[in-house]
Chains A and B, each alone.
Chain A
Amino acid sequence: MRVDGKKVKEILQLIGKKFQKGVTVFSLFLPALLVMGPVLLLVSGSLMDQWEIGKYIGTVFTEGSEFIRWKLMPDYPSLANYKKLLFESPQFFILFWNSMKLAACILLGQLLVAVPSAWGFAVYPVKGSSLLFALYVILMLLPFQVTMLSSYLVLNQLSLLNTHQAIILPAVFSTFPVFLSYGGFRGIPHQMLEAARMDGAGELIIFVRLGIPLGKSGLLSAMVLGFLEYWNMMEQPMAFLTEKSLWPLSLYLPEITWGSAGYAFCASVITLIPAVFVFVLGQDYLEQGIIYSGLKA
């Protein structure tokens, strides 16, 4: 039998294409599983009652030979733990509002401070401003640990330690939102601003009426990235807040012991909700923000 070379090639190509597609699907399925798995675990765990959860993860305490077990659909679904957490533990509420207050105050402060700064850098480039901006970029890249001592010294000097201001004030003057907002502002064509000036608009009016609406993608992305960051904040409160009633949720959560794992699952799900909310609403700005963060100064 004569083998038709052309046909063989065609078949091989077809197999190759199918294979490629398979690889693509698989390589995307795996991360999807890795991402959704933890969420499913948390949600299912939060719906179990104390007894069922104890049955599955009780092995933690025994050091025996039995492995962990799990059911994504609880045998006896119950909202008992949510009820207890939301209605019978006022201290959880305090922590939740601590987190909210910190994130909200920081973001508001950043809007008032960082956005005008970014506008200044984008619209009024003067001699030396690029040097100052380079300094901002370096400050933005320094990890918390490097500035930890300096923050401590100044907070101590102003006797703000162990108050919420100790967390809010340094974060308000962070330079990351300046950088992101700058990314949004620098896309605005200068001719437009020039035209507004010709029409007699003052510089403040131009900033509020033209700058903010046109450059909103930058400041919104700063807000989205900022919320996710400050909702998850740990280093700062750990260092500067000794009073536990001032702590945000992100620090309290890990303190819940395995013994009351039911709570831990519920508290985790509740902590997750605002973050998911912002993520879903702000995904476009999140992506935009990431892209801005990668732009060169």
Chain B
Amino acid sequence: MVKKKKRFFCLFVFPGFIGIMIFVLVPFGDVVRRSFATAVTGQWNGFKNYLTIFQNQAFILAVKNTLRFTLVCIPLLVLTGFMTALLLNGMKSKKWIKSIFLFPLAMPTATIVLVWKMVFYRQGFLNLFLTRLGELSGLWGVIYKDYLDSQAAFWVLVGSYIWKNTGYTVILWLAGLGGIPSELLEAARVDGAGKWQRLWYIVLPNLKGSLYTIVVLSFLNSFKIYREAYLTAGAYPDKSIYLLQHLFNNWFVNLELDKMAAAAVCTGGVLMIVILLLQKLWDKQEV
């Protein structure tokens, strides 16, 4: 039986695995080798490539910005999603509302960029709105700020990330909330626990697993913000949104493959460690 099992496992999994070997694992091995070699001659170069990238201003800036972006976005998204899910959880007909929140996920980035430009450019809708608000309240005058070409671009990206991914997070939170046994909540209610007490002592502790997956998936999705960033601001945007993704792309265009190799190994390694650490943390909670 075990032998048979093995045979069928191989039969079903191997075609895909061979593809992964060819397209991902073997070439990534080559990338690791290249990260220790010179770009042109391919000679052993020790850790020189790594030293180069860590002294590279662009790399440091990109790492900083990417970190800042994730550290701002993920908590914000997790919270927005959670509050929305809590609001929705009590409702009976959620389908329509869920559709509304999910829709941005389906909207191709290329189509939304046109709208973002109309909203955020110097004479766009946002400034129009703020100026009218200023006129009404008499507190400030006309505002001409180009949000896409200044440090505000960072916040435009944050907003657009939240806009796009709230639905995804809400669905995951709702699944988590639905997984809490209702007897548990009922028992607490009978024992006299109020709404907030139930939330704090029963709901939240039961959602730790959801929190883990939501953080990991939000992290994965945060890298796709490059599309919005690139389409609204191009390959060399404002300094505040120059992300690792821009850097990789620009190195690729300039064929600086040695730096790219070292950076790919570093980024991949750090991501792997973060994922494994989060997973370990979660496993510990479960026991």
* A-to-B contact residues, CB < 8 Å: 24, 27-28, 31-32, 34-39, 41-42, 57, 59-60, 63-68, 70, 113-114, 116-117, 119-121, 123-126, 129, 132, 136, 138-154, 157, 169-170, 172-173, 175, 178, 203, 207, 228, 231-232, 234-235, 238-239, 249-254, 264-265, 268-269, 271-272, 275-276, 278-279, 283, 286-287, 290-291, 293-296
Contacts and interface: CB of A to CB of B under 8 A. Distances in A.
B150 interface: no
A236 B28 CA distance: 17
Contacts of A290: 168, 171-172
A31 B122 CA distance: 24
Interface string B94-110: 00011111111111111
Contacts of A41: 115, 118
A4 to B, nearest CB: 25
Interface string B55-85: 0000000000000000000000000000010
Given A250-B110, A294-B210, A287 B98 contact: yes
A154 B27 contact: yes
Contacts of A57: 118
A60 B122 CA distance: 8
B209 interface: yes
A190 B54 CA distance: 52
Interface residues of B, number: 90
Contact of B8 (A120, A148, A235, A265): A120
A142 B122 contact: no
A113 B275 CA distance: 26
B166 to A, nearest CB: 7
A272 B15 contact: no
Contacts of A295: 213
A121 B102 contact: no
Q: Which label, helix, strand, loop or mixed, suits the secondary structure of the A interface? A: helix
B5 to A, nearest CB: 5
A279 B128 contact: no
B114 A294 contact: no
Contact of B268 (A66, A119, A146, A279): A146
Given A42-B111, A68-B123, A141-B275, A172 B19 contact: yes
Contacts of A39: 107
A141 B216 contact: yes
Nearest to A250: B110
A56 to B, nearest CB: 9
Given A144-B223, A250-B108, A268-B111, 15 more contacts: A36-B100, A41-B118, A113-B16, A121-B13, A145-B264, A146-B264, A149-B257, A169-B23, A232-B109, A234-B231, A249-B108, A250-B109, A253-B113, A279-B102, A296-B209
A172 B209 CA distance: 30
B172 A173 contact: no
Given A31-B101, A291-B175, A126 B217 contact: no
